[in-house]
Amino acid sequence: MLMKRDSEKGSALIFALMLLLVLSAMAGSLMFLSTSETWSSMNYRMMTQARYGAEAGVNAAANFLMSANYVPPAAPAAGPGANVFAGFDVTQYPVKTAGGGDVYLSTLAGQPSTYPNPAMQGAFVAAMGANQPLQAGANRVNYSASARLMSMVSVQAFGTTIPVTIQTWEITAHGDIANVNNAEAEVVTTLERYISPAFSYSAFADASGCSSLSFTGNGTTNGYDSTGLPVVGGVVQAPTGANLLGYGGNVGTNGNETNGGNPTINGTLSTPNAGFGVCSAGNVTALSGNLNQVTGGLIQMPQAVSFPAPTVPAPGTTNVSNTATLAPGNYGDINLSGNNVVTLTPGTYNINSLSITGNAQLVVAPDPITGQYGPIIVNVTGNNNATPIDLEGNGISNPTYDPSLLQFVYGGTGTIKIAGNGASAAVVYAPNATADFKGNATFYGSVIANQLLDVGNGAIYYDLKLRKKLFTIGNYVLNAFTWNKY
């Protein structure tokens, strides 16, 4: 029997049309998806290029502020730390202009430069435009930036006689692609320079073995404040007795402290090692001796402290052995004995060696013109001399008892001898040398050496003001980044 299919005429065409419609819809969807992906990829690429432009603006601003083309305000004439920068109010955060506004260097639209020095404003604009526009394929990327001064302070860097101006800046940079409205990005970051006290301990020995730091006899450490010493008849009184704080004489070592006799450390002992008792090559303990002799207890550091060897300029050839007032400059060996006195005034002295015996003295004096005390830097080479610094006799006369005013810098491996009955106020930076204290010598200040030996009744008294007077200045750092897009 034949089936009648008259009623099915045209159904194949209908199914074919339906299939074509479905395929067309799928093709349209794929085309839409492809277009969306293309636009998404393009937008991402342009936003990335704009962000790179903003980051280039950050780098351009930071490079200018770190370069010799930017000259910060001179350190205050009143001395390091004084808030007397002309045209700036550094008592506020952010720093203000004399008129009370924020301090800006800027090429950002809508943010004018308010920095009090027009020459620096112009130099900033020139630096920001030096490498623009950036080319990213067919696109031209532009950037602009502003730098807002957040803080500013003058500090005395160790080993220099000229104060350094330290600033913190907030940099805001804008990047965009020419003729593309939605390709804009902003980056905000902080440019700062870290500083840390150059001398944080009364004594630090950076050797890592046993007895790197050694106190025997009645050796002692303590702390004092050179700005709070009494003045009698115009003379600053020595930090003794009631003027000592009973704390602050902190010591440290990368190795072990060994105590014998009856020493007293009026402060803490810092070392990366732990434990007490006998020290050996395979078991470097923190302390060999009585912990009660360290009044502040033990601080275990997370790692050893590294002190770089200083680079010392070559000395002169003129030797000094008689009473004299020396101008800053280059000298050979300074050997003082008998009643000879050598006077130093603010400035830098490059010498080969220093020896003081008998009743001889080295005297710290103010500037002969201004009458103001200032840093005296003594760079010691120590060529052909096993004891390049020998402070005996009456030692050093520093009438202020401010050790930051006299800085000894030595990079060799010889011995620094501090002995006799003299009293000296200074700081010593000799990370490769041995510091040897003997007799009843009193040292006001701080010593950094490879190994430190205190035999007898020697005393080291740390001036707490050193933490705010002499600094090690680190590199610039960009941190705290934030990104925004428009």
Average pLDDT for 314-342:
97
Residues of the domain holding 217 = 203-469
Domain annotation covers residue 125: yes
Min mean pLDDT across 321-325, 353-357, 439-443 is at 439-443
- Quote the pLDDT of residue 19: 72
Domain membership flag for residue 40: no
Q: Are residues 75 and 137 in the same domain?
A: yes
> 413 falls in which pLDDT band (50, 70, 90)?
very high
Cis peptide before 72 (omega within 30 of 0): no
The answer to whether residues 172 and 110 belong to one domain is: yes
Same domain, 246 and 161: no
Least confident among 147-156, 312-321, 392-401:
392-401
pLDDT digits (tens, 9 = 90+) for 428-449: 999 999 999 888 889 999 999 9
pLDDT at 147: 98
Name the residue with higher pLDDT: 51 or 1: 51
Give the per-residue pLDDT at 39: 47
- Band (pLDDT 50/70/90 cuts) for residue 82 is low
216 and 183 in a single domain? The answer is no
Express each pLDDT in 254-279 by its tens digit: 999 999 989 999 999 999 999 888 99
Helices vs strands, H then E, count in the chain: 2, 34
Together in a domain, 236 and 384: yes
Alpha carbons 367 and 470: distance in angstroms, whole number: 19
Confidence check: pLDDT of 14 > 70:
yes
Cα dihedral: 295, 296, 297, 299 (round 10):
-150
Instruction: Judge if 275 and 422 occupy the same domain.
Output: yes
pLDDT exceeds 70 at position 251: yes
Q: Are 212 and 222 in contact (CB under 8 A)?
A: no
Q: What percent of the chain has pLDDT over 90?
A: 69
Query: In the prediction, which pLDDT does 45 show?
Result: 64
Residue 229 confidence (pLDDT) above 70 = yes
Same domain, 107 and 127: yes
Note whether 151 and 94 are within 8 A (CB): yes
Confidence of residue 43 (pLDDT cuts 50, 70, 90): low
> Is residue 92 situated within a structural domain?
yes
Instruction: Kindly state the percentage of the chain with pLDDT values over 70.
Output: 88
Residue 223 inside a domain? The answer is yes
Task: Please indicate, yes or no, whether residues 405 and 273 belong to a single structural domain of this protein.
Answer: yes
Structurally, how many domains does the chain consist of? 2
State residue 125 phi and psi, 5-degree precision: -60, -45
CB-CB contact of 332 with 349 (8 Å): no
Give the pLDDT score at 119: 97
The predicted pLDDT at position 4 comes to 54
pLDDT at 476: 95
82 against 448, higher pLDDT: 448
pLDDT for the residue numbered 184: 84
Examine the domain organization and report whether 477 and 459 are in the same domain.
no
Q: Give yes or no: residues 155 and 229 share one domain.
A: no
Look over the chain and give the mean of its residue pLDDT values, rounded to a whole number. Answer: 89
Q: pLDDT band for position 121 (50/70/90)?
A: very high
Same domain, 451 and 333: yes
- Structure confidence at residue 35 as a pLDDT band (50, 70, 90): low
- Confidence (pLDDT) at 7: 59
Average confidence (pLDDT) over 447-476: 92
- Same domain for 79 and 154, yes or no, is yes
* Beta carbons within 10 angstroms of residue 367's beta carbon: 12
Mean pLDDT for the stretch of residues 451-457: 86
Instruction: Decide if 12 is inside a domain.
Output: no
For residue 405 the two structure tokens come to 């005013």
Residue 136 lies in a domain: yes
User: What's the CA angle centered on 99, arms 97 and 105, to 5 degrees?
Assistant: 35
pLDDT of amino acid 34: 54
| Mean pLDDT, range 415-432, rounded to an integer | 89
